Every structure is written in C-alpha cells, then in structure tokens.
Structure 1
Amino acid sequence: MEIAENAALVVVDVQKGFEEVDFWGPRNHPGADDAIASLIDVWQATGRPVVFVRHDSVEPVSPLRPGYVGNEFKEYVERRRGKGGAGAELLVAKTVNSAFYGTPDLDAWLRAEGISQVVLAGIQTNMCVETTARMGGNLGYDVVVAYDATYTFDLVGPFGWRRSADEVAQASAVSLHGGGFARVVTTKEVVGAAG
C-alpha cells in the first residue's frame, strides 16, 4: 500500500460524548483510541495534513450537542491539535454524517491543497466514518479506512433485527471495501506505509 506524501488524515468525531455508555451501549474495538492516536502521531511527525472533524449534534439530548462537555474532543486528540509542525491542519464542524457537509468545505480545502488521498479514522464506523468514506469515493478521492482505528456500537434495525458492534462494523467494512468506495485496512498497514 502507498500513502501519499500529502495524504490527509481525517479524524472523525473523536469526542467525549461517545464515552457515555448508558446512551450508546456496548462498543467494539477497545484499542481504537490508541490506534487513532498513533495515526495522528505519524501524520504530524511526517508533516502530513490532519483534519479534525467535530459533530455538533442538533438533537437536544445528544451527548455531542454544542455547549455540553461531550461535544469536546477526547483529551488525547485535543492534546495533539496544533502540534503538526509543517503539516496543515483543519477543523471541520458538521451537523450531519458526512464530513464533506461541514464548515469549512472539506472538498474545497482538499482540492486547494492538491490532496487526492484521504485516510479515515474515528467514530462511528458505520455512521460518520462510512458516510464520509462513501462520499469521498464518489468525489473521486482515494479513500483508505483504518478499520481498527474506528469503532461503533450495538444497533437495532428494522424488524427487531439486532446486530453487535462487531457485526455492524464488519458489514460497514464489507460494503465500503467490496463496493469500491474505500480500501479497508489495518492501522499497522497504514503506519507502515506512512512512516
């Protein structure tokens, strides 16, 4: 795998509100936060651009709503913001699933910077990470998803169908990879190619 010298790492919604287990329920990938931190560290050490995405929920009871502590980035992400040295950094705020529908305009910024490859990590695998990956693929970007640097939660769907966080994440990965929207790989593969 090749990671471009100017590939952007897009860190999706790594916010304190996702720690509220009573709201979200059981999650998968307990090592995801360490994986996300390692990706940010590699990107910053190599001077590559990092995009931090924050979900500003419009739902009044959401742990991700603006003005509530859960809207803030997790501590390890906040500590790393602004530490990229020569690497460009962008903060995108959004109210929907796709980071491409946020402020400022992510697509316009990537194109202005001459970036054609994006690596995605963050929360939730099957929601904002997947939607951003699909849209990035549709827009013509080379999209890479670091699967173990994402996580999600158990989910109930139609007809009373229940799926565990692992099942939901795997289905998301199969759809993205098998559908040609993104290459779904491990953090170790990404770090090895980017280091």
Structure 2
Amino acid sequence: MSHSYDPRRTAVLLVDPYNDFLSEGGKIWPRLEQMAQEVGLLDHLHSVVTSAREAGVRVVFVPHRRWEPGDYETWNHPNPTQLSIMERHSFARGTWGGEFHPDFQPQPGDVVVREHWAQSGFANTDLDFQLKQHGITHVVAVGLLANTCIESTGRFAMELGYHVTLVRDATAAFLPEMMHAAHDLNGPTYAHAIITTDELTAAFKGERA
C-alpha cells in the first residue's frame, strides 16, 4: 500500500529523543537496549529525520517534562511512570540525561514544543497549536516509547483530526509484547498507516521527485 505525504502538510513528531532513553549510560537505556538494537532504532530514527528534512517535511520535537526537584511530590494522582521519574530523576533538567541525543538536535526550521507531563505530546502543550499554525494535517510519530508516549500522542492526534502514521522500526519499548500491543493490537484502532522506515523514506523521496 502506497502512502502520500505532502511536505507542506506533514510533520515528523520526534518524541522524547533524550540521552536517558537513547544513549549508552542513559538511565533508561538498559531497559530499552535489546528492543532498540533488534529494530535498529537509532539508525532508523536518523533515516526518518534526515529524509524528512531533505524532503522539506517539518521535524517537531515533542519532549517529555525534564525532571526538576519537587516534581510530582505534591500531586494528587501521579501515574506509575511519574512516580518512577520522581524516584530515578529521568531526563533531569540541566543534566546530560535530560539533553537531546547528539544525533537529534533541533535545526533551523524545526519546532520544539512545550514539554508534556505525562504521555500525550498534546495534553497541556502547544503541539496542536503549532501544527495548525504550520498547516500540518499529517503526523508521523517516532521516538519513545511505542506503547506509552507514541501511542498516546498518536491517538490524541487522531482525535484532533490528524492523519496518523506509526513507524514500526523507528520506536522501541521494553518488551516484545509491548511492541506487539502498540503496533498490532492498539495501533490499528487509531492509526491511518503503520509502516516501516524504508516505506516512509521511499514515500518522502517520492514527494521530492
């Protein structure tokens, strides 16, 4: 099945490309490493971002809240992930782990939206506003994690009326079962396309031709 992505109407949502997730020595990397290596995560993320920029597709950074002292401590209903962040200080502001991976740094023309507190890149951020201001109708969600922030952001995008694409090998999760749930069970209930990096980059190149 072929897919069309008008670069004037398409954005790649690069979710949570932090050192703590993607780099050797990152706090969460050990839990992700096996699945990330199986799918070729770093190479595929690089291919998606590079091909998007070459095609004139906008890259939008969708970052998680960088932990700061006091975060979540007085909340009524912190979720399990937030409690874990509070304990291990994932993506701590002002630390190496809370910086974007060196391969994924914002470039001129990219958009960096406000940090999301939980799992959806849309909730309590300016993501929807930024996409609408740039005329975006199609979003491609890549990054981490497949079954949490990618799924929540993609599902929220569908609810807001965007065309949503998931990329099987440009994301990862802690377990194969989580990847299966993200792409084979839950993804088809909201995503308009679930494809591979090669299929996506071919589509981007086709738009350039």
Q: Is residue 2:51 matched to residue 1:42?
A: yes
Equivalent residues, number? 177
Q: Deviations over 1:104-159 (max 9, x none)?
A: x1111111211100011101100101100110111110000111000111xxxxxx
Give the match for residue 100 of structure 1: 122
State the Cα distance separating 1:25 from its structure 2 match.
6.0
**Distance (whole Å) between structure 2 residues aligned to residue 50 and residue 22 of structure 1:** 23
The percent identity for this pair of structures is: 28
Task: Say if 2:154 and 2:190, in contact at 8 Å, map to a contact too.
Answer: no
The one-letter code of the counterpart of 1:186 is: T
Superposed, 1:29-68 pairs within 5 Å as 29-30=36-37, 31-56=40-65, 57=67, 58=71, 59-60=85-86, 61-68=88-95
TM-score, with structure 2 as normaliser: 0.78
Structure 2: runs of 5 or more not aligned? 72-84
Counterpart secondary structure, 2:170: strand
Q: Is residue 2:15 matched to residue 1:8?
A: no
Give the match for residue 76 of structure 2: none
The one-letter code of the counterpart of 1:70 is: G
**Distance (whole Å) between structure 2 residues aligned to residue 109 and residue 22 of structure 1:** 30
4+ runs of 1 displaced by more than 6 Å? Answer: none
State the Cα distance separating 1:23 from its structure 2 match.
6.6
Give the match for residue 172 of structure 1: 182
Q: Is residue 2:139 matched to residue 1:129?
A: no
State the Cα distance separating 1:102 from its structure 2 match.
4.9
Structure 1 window deviating more from structure 2 (110-119 vs 60-69): it is 60-69
State the Cα distance separating 1:14 from its structure 2 match.
1.1
Task: Say if 2:17 and 2:104, in contact at 8 Å, map to a contact too.
Answer: yes
Structure 1: runs of 5 or more not aligned? 154-164
Structure 1 window deviating more from structure 2 (32-41 vs 60-69): it is 60-69
Cα RMSD for the two superposed structures:
1.9
TM-score, with structure 1 as normaliser: 0.83
**Distance (whole Å) between structure 2 residues aligned to residue 22 and residue 151 of structure 1:** 11
Superposed, 1:107-118 pairs within 5 Å as 107-118=128-139
Q: Which has the higher strand share?
A: 1
C-alpha distance 137-27 of structure 1, shift in aligned 2 (>3 A): farther
**Distance (whole Å) between structure 2 residues aligned to residue 131 and residue 27 of structure 1:** 23
Structure 1 window deviating more from structure 2 (49-58 vs 176-185): it is 176-185
